[in-house]
Amino acid sequence: MKKLLAKAAETISEAVFPSNIYCICCGSLIDGSRVYSLCDECIRKFHWASGRTCEKCGKALPDAYRGKLCYDCMDRAHYFTKGYSCLAYGLHERAVLLDYKYNGKGYLAKKLGDMLYDRISCEGLQVDLIIPVPLGAGRKLQRGYNQAALLVRRLSARWGVPWDGAVLLRKKETPRLRSLNPSEREMALFGAFAVSERGSCKIKGKRLLLVDDIYTTGATADACSKALLYAGANQVYFLSLASGGNRKPKDLECRN
Ligand SMILES: [Zn+2]
Ligand SMILES: [Zn+2]
């Protein structure tokens, strides 16, 4: 029934907002051949993470930056094995993601899911199951969908790897993490995620790919990975659509 409803919603949104007519970023007219439904100008303006990236979390690094790890990864170890990201989070990426998350444009999931597939399928990564970062019940009700789950559904269909949105649960709503420092983020996320009883049987000894739309310091990815590993997963990899800037924490200023 859930699948039928999702399919019906997709058909309606495709009829109202045909995905290959307008650029998903600037809204200009395009033809059906444009990759990810982006016009030539927008596809050039997007910051694809195709150059140097952090060896641990996959965040795009500026050419002038000398380190192999981003500042956040230098500062703390992660629970996930390795992260990958499609884009660096800039103005244009932000506009599309805000539209996707807050302006009811869930139908963008198809194009954004294709970006995830193109990014991860060339890595030769073998995973058993894809898990979306769960959304709190309140936010899901407000938004009508979990943005990560829609991306995962498309990624799974393209990649042929199964996904499960009922393995990892969000036990409490968390405040927006943007303005919090690393230890405040950790506190805010303490006990926020848990694996369902059914979920723990599915992930025992398995390699998982955790997916979210945005990655910044890794606090959410770590909180989820920790819960999955604690429940018996063998390894957790992480994939995001866009990753945030490489900001230097104050206590690292004299170390680099
Ligand atoms: Zn455009
Ligand atoms: Zn990193």
- Measured in Å, residue 46 CA sits from the centre of ligand 1 at 10
CA 70 to ligand 2 centroid distance, Å: 4
For residue 3, the model assigns a pLDDT of 54
Percent of the chain with pLDDT over 90: 62
Mean pLDDT, to the nearest integer, of 138-144? Answer: 68
Confidence of residue 253 (pLDDT cuts 50, 70, 90): very low
Taking a 5 Å cut-off on Cβ, the residues next to ion ligand 1 are 23, 25-26, 39, 42
Q: Closest Cα partner for 213 from 124, 150, 142, 127?
A: 150
- 144 C-alpha vs ligand 2 centroid, how far in Å? 32
Q: If you measure from the C-alpha of residue 65 to the centroid of ligand 1, how many angstroms do you get, rounded to a whole number?
A: 30
Q: What is the pLDDT of residues 237-249, one digit of tens each?
A: 999 999 987 777 6
Lookup: tokens for 110: 């198809």
DSSP class per residue in 85-142 = EEEE--HHHHHHHHHHHHSS-GGGHHHHHHHHHHHHHTTT---SEEEEPP--HHHHHH
What confidence tens digit (pLDDT) does each residue in 55-102 have? 999 999 988 888 999 998 998 899 999 999 999 999 999 999 999 988
Q: Which ligand is nearest to the CA of 221?
A: 2
Q: What is residue 80's DSSP assignment? A: S
User: Mutual orientation of helices 109-121 and 91-102 as an angle, nearest 10°?
Assistant: 130
Pairing of β 168-170 and β 193-195: antiparallel
Mean pLDDT across the chain: 87
Neighbouring CB atoms inside 10 A of 3's CB total 8
Nearest ligand, measured from the Cα of 96: 1
Q: Where in the chain is the domain with CATH 3.40.50.2020?
A: 48-252
Q: Where are the beta strands (DSSP E) in the chain?
A: 82-88, 129-132, 168-170, 193-195, 207-215, 235-243
**Proximal ligand: closest to the CA of 28:** 1
Q: Spelled out in words, what is the top-level CATH class assigned to the domain 48-252?
A: alpha beta
Which tens digit of pLDDT belongs to each residue from 110-136?
999 999 999 999 999 999 999 999 987
Spacing, Cα 140 to ligand 1 middle (Å): 29
Q: What is the pLDDT of residues 169-215, one digit of tens each?
A: 998 877 777 778 878 888 888 889 999 999 999 999 999 999 999 99
